[in-house]
Structure 1
Amino acid sequence: MPALVVLAAEPLYLLVDTAVVGHLGTVPLGGLAVGGGLLAWSAALLNFLAYGTTARAARRAGAGDRAGAVAEGVQATWLALALGVAVLLLFQLLAGPLTRLLAGGAGPVAAAGEQWLRVAGFGAPLLLVSLAGNGWLRGVAELRRPVHFVLAGALLSLVLCPLLVHPVGLGLIGSAIANVVGQSLTAGLFLRALVREGADWRPRLPALRSQLVIGRDLLLRAAVLQLSFLVAAGVAARAGAADLGAHQIALQLFFFLALVLDAFAIAAQTLVGRALGGGHPADARATARRVAGWGLGTGVVVAAVLVALRDVLPPLFSSDPAVLAGAGLVWWFLAGMQPLAGVVFALDGVLMGAGDVGYLRTVTIGAAVVGFLPLSLLAAPMGWGLAGIWTGLVLFIALRLVAVLWRVAGDRWLAAPVRVTG
């Protein structure tokens, strides 16, 4: 439950942000889709700072080495700062070309996305520091403190966003400012928690290099995954602002629900890592069965709720009839994939906790190349539109489901090595 709160806080804020900006009009909503997609891409691409750190810290904690688990957090935080500054510089230098590329050329949507990204990009180092903080705290099985840290930043953003966008009159820029302010508070709280552990704060280059090597498979996996989502957004943008707006609404709900279901993956990472670190593979296998069952059951419930609220939720994000028509189409795809996604995300956590990230990398790349990317790219020339894009996403989830079920049914994942930094 604490993992659920932490994972849901940021996407819940983004849903509120989407609703607030959506009532400014179709162009600002499209701009948020473009700029927000690029910022989310950078965070998802570098999420090994959380997931990789959790697996390594959990192994050390399971072996009784809390100091070593905290040391993983220190080095991950230095790495987060370095990568965050690089992302910030990238967005400041290339915000215009990147948003125009994603929006399908120059125009009001690309201009709005560039405006948002130049301001919100200052939150990139803060966001990555929070990922690293979540990673080591999950590894030592302390999930309650991250709840307080993440909620504090999210609530601050939730209060500021509607105020800055509408009454203050900053429009889309107000959304970006609220985003950065909330991330500043959350990152500061994670840094304070690490300082209080009394760890050695010196950056160690061999350890940093080791963490980059450890994160390589997760990085490649995330890169292909995010490239697929960027391609899908680009195809939707070329179909028009209304289709892009509908895609943005459904995609933000998909990300929100994915992270809700990922709560079981976080629990699995910690429990599997600690079980294998302590030499108890039977406990790791029992955890895999348990989280798969919970993921399936939760996915079924989520699907039923989405179907029941299909006429209620989309109007909260936009009043444009064209946007609502597109959202109504993709809604059925969004609901139908939830039971499959629940099992996939839970077992992803099991394999990450076991250190079997090489297999996850291969499966994700294969499913994207065979399913998601081809259908997204063919959607425009074949006239499939949003239905083609979202059919590709459903196929992507289904292929991964088959692959992770087959892997967990065997024994090789129980012996997967996890390298830890010295």
Structure 2
Amino acid sequence: MPTSFTLPAIRAEAAGLWRLAWPMLVGQLATIGMGVADVAMTGHASADELAAVSLGASIWSIILVTVTGVMMAMNSIVAHDVGAGQLGKIPRAVRQGLWKGLGVGLIAALLANLATLLFDHLYLSDTVNAQASLFVHIISLGLPPFAAYRALYGYSTSIDQTKPVMLIAIGGLFFNIAVNWLLVYGNWGFPALGAVGCAVATSVGLWLMLAAMVVWIKLAPAYRATYPFGRWEAPHWPQIKNMLHLGLPIGITHFAEVSAFGAVGLLIARYGAVQISAHQIALNFSSLVFMVPLSFGIALITRVGQALGEGNPARARFAAWVGVAMSLGFAVLSAALIVLLRHQIAAAYTSDPAVRELAAHLLLFAALFQLSDATQVATSCAIRGYKVTRSPMLIQLFAFWGCALPLGWLLGLAPAGLPWAPAEPMRAEGFWIALVLGLTIAAVLLSGSLQRLSLRRLRA
């Protein structure tokens, strides 16, 4: 295994990371593609339907990404067991992870529905309010199966079985697009449900993805050595508590970032459908691009965790920084492409001229924060490979809730009575400037944290 920073060693590690990451990348793109399809397809229905999906997605994405983070503890646990050669511990961990997923999913569904009460205070039209609330009520039914699916996802990717999650996610995307086409526009005699049709498609698709994952694990020979469904096992609260101890800080870390973006959507809703729709388009496409460094990051959890399980901190440090460099290299490319193609990207989402023009402008800020975003996600995932989750959580909370949101509130809303504020509210643009700053702060602090942690483990 390569552990020194020579060109052949870097090439070998990059190739190993890519072999693990690319199926996850395709799967992640397919999963996030369900949300992209929701926004893009309703964007060609009407501005009100797009605004409803945008607001509903603000709640949905916060809950969904937080659940993903809480369930990510499975990746670190299984990767360490694989590296240490303790395969017998994995089936029990997976079974308890599924119990944990059931509880996390049910709590998440309850919180999502309660969050719709915020819509009553956002100066929305009655139509948009009702559609956005119904969107969340229906799509939240997919949260319990999604949490269980992420437990099996973490198990599968950590034993190097990444292609199944890719194929299942692709199937889920095609199902989502097909059902959207039927229910959003009312094709083939189906009712034209608009935003509600998107929610139905996504919720049903998540149940089907869980079922497909279970069937695959039952049938594929690669899972025999760690097969988790051979026996029934009741919840074991001490083990679930230990998983939550590891997973909750990751969930809070994810929440800190995505809630900042979601809060921006809620705060600018007072400025009307054009502002919220343009914001959601820029955010939605940024989320799509973000799947590449995120896939490198998830692969890093496995690479770093397996190396540490083997007792090889030098290899863990080497893998971590090669992964960060790969993420940063992609960010340079994606930033350039977003700048060049921003008008075409906006036009693909909506036919409304005002929304299209503002979305293209906001995509410039999305291009700007690609470098910081890729760096912060890669470094934070590498740190989680060390089973360290508290420091990334504190850094993300400070960067987004301590810096980005207060500055965004100041620039975007220009509240009266403060010592200094813009003469006129900068609206969505002001919030995006603040988000760029928050991502940059997170990237710098997390890079320093990874450097100190990896050197400390190496010396120990």
* Corresponding residue number in structure 1 for 2:105: 84
Task: Confirm or deny: 8 A CA contact 1:57 1:70 kept in the other structure.
Answer: no
CA distance in 2, matches of 1:72, 1:155: 32
CA RMSD of aligned residues (A): 2.0
Task: Please tell me whether residue 162 in structure 1 is matched to residue 181 in structure 2.
Answer: yes
* Corresponding residue number in structure 2 for 1:175: 198
Q: Against the structure 1 CA distance between its residues 230 and 340, is the aligned structure 2 distance closer, same or farther, given a 3 Å change threshold?
A: closer
Offset at 1:194?
5.0
CA distance in 1, matches of 2:381, 2:87: 22
CA distance in 2, matches of 1:89, 1:367: 28
* Corresponding residue number in structure 2 for 1:4: 25
Offset at 1:211?
1.5
Task: Please tell me whether residue 38 in structure 1 is matched to residue 59 in structure 2.
Answer: yes
Gaps of 5+ in 2: 1-21, 220-226, 415-421
Task: Confirm or deny: 8 A CA contact 2:152 2:213 kept in the other structure.
Answer: yes
Per the alignment, in what secondary structure is the counterpart of residue 359 of structure 1?
A: helix
CA distance in 2, matches of 1:218, 1:157: 28
Query: TM-score, normalization: structure 1?
Result: 0.93
CA distance in 1, matches of 2:456, 2:176: 41
Task: Please tell me whether residue 317 in structure 1 is matched to residue 349 in structure 2.
Answer: yes
Name the aligned partner's letter for residue 120 of structure 2.
R
1:15-57 CA distance string (max 9 Å, x none): 1221110111111111101112212211112223442110111
Match of 2:449 among 383, 407, 414: 407
Task: Please tell me whether residue 109 in structure 1 is matched to residue 128 in structure 2.
Answer: yes
* Corresponding residue number in structure 1 for 2:302: 270
Offset at 1:412?
5.3
For 1:18-167, what aligned pairs fall within 5 Å after superposition? 18-92=39-113, 94=114, 96-101=116-121, 103-105=122-124, 107-166=126-185, 167=187
Task: Confirm or deny: 8 A CA contact 1:351 1:413 kept in the other structure.
Answer: no
Match of 1:392 among 434, 452, 459: 434
CA distance in 2, matches of 1:17, 1:274: 37
Q: Against the structure 1 CA distance between its residues 125 and 395, is the aligned structure 2 distance closer, same or farther, given a 3 Å change threshold?
A: same
Q: Against the structure 1 CA distance between its residues 324 and 141, is the aligned structure 2 distance closer, same or farther, given a 3 Å change threshold?
A: same
CA distance in 1, matches of 2:408, 2:138: 30
Match of 2:209 among 186, 192, 205: 186
Match of 1:218 among 228, 243, 250: 250
1:170-190 CA distance string (max 9 Å, x none): 222211111122111111122
Task: Please tell me whether residue 254 in structure 1 is matched to residue 286 in structure 2.
Answer: yes
Offset at 1:402?
0.9
Query: TM-score, normalization: structure 2?
Result: 0.85
Q: Against the structure 1 CA distance between its residues 347 and 364, is the aligned structure 2 distance closer, same or farther, given a 3 Å change threshold?
A: same
Name the aligned partner's letter for residue 329 of structure 1.
H
Per the alignment, in what secondary structure is the counterpart of residue 257 of structure 1?
A: helix
Offset at 1:415?
3.9
Task: Confirm or deny: 8 A CA contact 1:35 1:99 kept in the other structure.
Answer: no
Name the aligned partner's letter for residue 34 of structure 2.
Y
Q: Against the structure 1 CA distance between its residues 368 and 151, is the aligned structure 2 distance closer, same or farther, given a 3 Å change threshold?
A: same
Q: Against the structure 1 CA distance between its residues 66 and 109, is the aligned structure 2 distance closer, same or farther, given a 3 Å change threshold?
A: same
For 1:284-363, what aligned pairs fall within 5 Å after superposition? 284-363=316-395
Name the aligned partner's letter for residue 413 of structure 2.
A
CA distance in 2, matches of 1:134, 1:9: 14
Task: Confirm or deny: 8 A CA contact 1:337 1:394 kept in the other structure.
Answer: yes
Q: Percent identity?
A: 25
Q: Against the structure 1 CA distance between its residues 397 and 205, is the aligned structure 2 distance closer, same or farther, given a 3 Å change threshold?
A: same
* Corresponding residue number in structure 1 for 2:397: 365
Q: Please, which moves more after superposition, 63-72 or 246-255?
A: 63-72
* Corresponding residue number in structure 2 for 1:380: 413
Name the aligned partner's letter for residue 260 of structure 1.
V
